[in-house]
């Protein structure tokens, strides 16, 4: 489950560790949120 967090007026999401490992993301991986045709958010890896 992805959760929205707030700290000092900024919002961020946390991703489950198993999903991060499955996608081989690491600290500093940059993801671009995009809306698909159904209005759902997709995270696109840009770096």
State residue 1's pLDDT score.
Answer: 82
Query: What does the alpha-carbon distance between residue 34 and residue 44 come to, in Å, rounded to a whole number?
Result: 7
Number of domains in the chain: 1
Query: What does the alpha-carbon distance between residue 32 and residue 44 come to, in Å, rounded to a whole number?
Result: 5
Q: What is the pLDDT along the chain (47 residues), one digit of tens a residue?
A: 888 999 999 999 899 999 999 999 999 999 999 999 999 999 999 98
State residue 3's pLDDT score.
Answer: 87
Query: What does the alpha-carbon distance between residue 27 and residue 43 come to, in Å, rounded to a whole number?
Result: 15
* Degrees, nearest 5: CA angle 36-23-45: 50
Q: DSSP assignment, residue 37? A: T
Domain range for residue 35? Answer: 3-45
Query: What does the alpha-carbon distance between residue 32 and residue 46 come to, in Å, rounded to a whole number?
Result: 7
């Amino acid at each position: 489950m992805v959760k929205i967090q707030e700290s000092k007026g900024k919002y961020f999401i946390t991703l489950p560790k198993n999903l991060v490992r499955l996608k081989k993301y690491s600290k500093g991986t940059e993801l671009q949120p995009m809306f698909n045709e159904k209005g759902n958010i997709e995270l696109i890896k840009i770096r």
